[in-house]
Chains A and B, each alone.
Chain A
């Protein structure tokens, strides 16, 4: 019998992988001088649930943001100067998190590509 093809989300490890990644990822974000100031005033619990949704999407999982959602959600940050360098930093930290969790490089590349596809909406252009 042929093995059914696993989705990216399943290959990474699904919801359990999101749970394992979220604290690592958010801790990296909070101590990274390039981007931490965007998170100074945010409520940690709310932010963690947002990070979980973001990671689920980036892992190819069952969360689908529309371009409009992305724009609305980041407009106030763009007004505070959010730009490509910040976006690059987040993608870099995301890759670092997955590396630390032992995810295969080719899967990390696919995750980075999904994150990349949101760049223009996140930066509101």
Chain B
């Protein structure tokens, strides 16, 4: 079986075992979270040996060319010597602002030491000083300087609970951005449908404002699904956007009033030929929404999504 060489340690991988599993089995302390190739927190760099293509899916070409790969997606076919990511992959940042948007959602504003390019709707990974990390979608636009994240605070959530107790000025590390769910200005007249639940609103809010800022003239419909009204947030901001832009419409979709979001969308938009869609949030809902849009006639290439892959480290 292939050997993974890591800081002088030779780890023989079992059949079907990923590089991340091998490292963790041997007690190596390596950052990781989703274990599904999404959060990119287990990014490491190969110094020798070829890594499988699947371990570099979704990485920026520049990173892939330098041998970076995701340990959680890497089942090596040959021996690999790997190292921690070099300086420059992660950017120091500090918390600029922190406040509650709803009883369960925190607004976290992050100021980067050296700003990086990103698109609203992409996500980045936050690292606590002890290395614990989670990914969050970006609700802000690059010109706003502060990166805005919406964090759902979950009972016993290690990162979200910790964040809810922090104050401005606290230092963090960030990595990213990543993700391909963002607006492109190639067809400004195309109608856009944005739909999501929970903090899926973060990327959708960013994408909607990005489209409006870039002069999108087609209609933009944003649906935010929640169990009940206490799950809604940013309502004043979204209503303000609706007043300001004739082509923007915000519609909350409450489970106990409008019913499940996929069915509600179906009743509102039985035909979506020619539309472009963005769907974000819980993976189960995202899959249902994608299918719903597709069956209503939206072309598969026009459906953009970001399913929030849960943390898989068991904590």
Contacts and interface: CB of A to CB of B under 8 A. Distances in A.
Contacts of B299: 23
Contact of B295 (A27, A43, A48): A27
Chain B binding surface, main DSSP class:
helix
Interface residues of B, number: 9
Interface residues of A, number: 10
Given A22-B300, A44-B300, A48-B300, A27 B294 contact: yes
A103 to B, nearest CB: 20
B287 A30 contact: no
Interface string A44-66: 11001000000000000000000
A23 B291 contact: no
Given A43-B287, A44-B290, A31 B295 contact: yes
A23 B287 CA distance: 16
Chain A binding surface, main DSSP class:
helix
A18 to B, nearest CB: 12
Interface string B169-190: 0000000000000000000000
Contacts of A31: 295
Nearest to A49: B300
A26 interface: yes
Contacts of B294: 23, 26-27, 30, 44
Contacts of A44: 287, 290-291, 294, 300, 303
Interface in A71-94: none
A116 to B, nearest CB: 27
Given A43-B287, A44-B287, A44-B290, A30 B295 contact: yes
A8 B251 CA distance: 49
Interface in A30-45: 30-31, 43-45
A44 B287 CA distance: 7
Most buried by A among B287, B299, B300: B300
A26 B287 contact: no
A67 B291 CA distance: 30
A23 B290 CA distance: 13
Nearest to A51: B300
A30 B299 CA distance: 14
B239 to A, nearest CB: 32
Contacts of A45: 290, 300, 305
Interface of A: 22-23, 26-27, 30-31, 43-45, 48
Interface of B: 287, 290-291, 294-295, 299-300, 303, 305
Given A30-B291, A44-B294, A44-B300, 15 more contacts: A23-B294, A23-B299, A23-B300, A26-B294, A26-B300, A27-B294, A27-B295, A30-B295, A43-B287, A44-B287, A44-B290, A44-B291, A45-B300, A45-B305, A48-B300
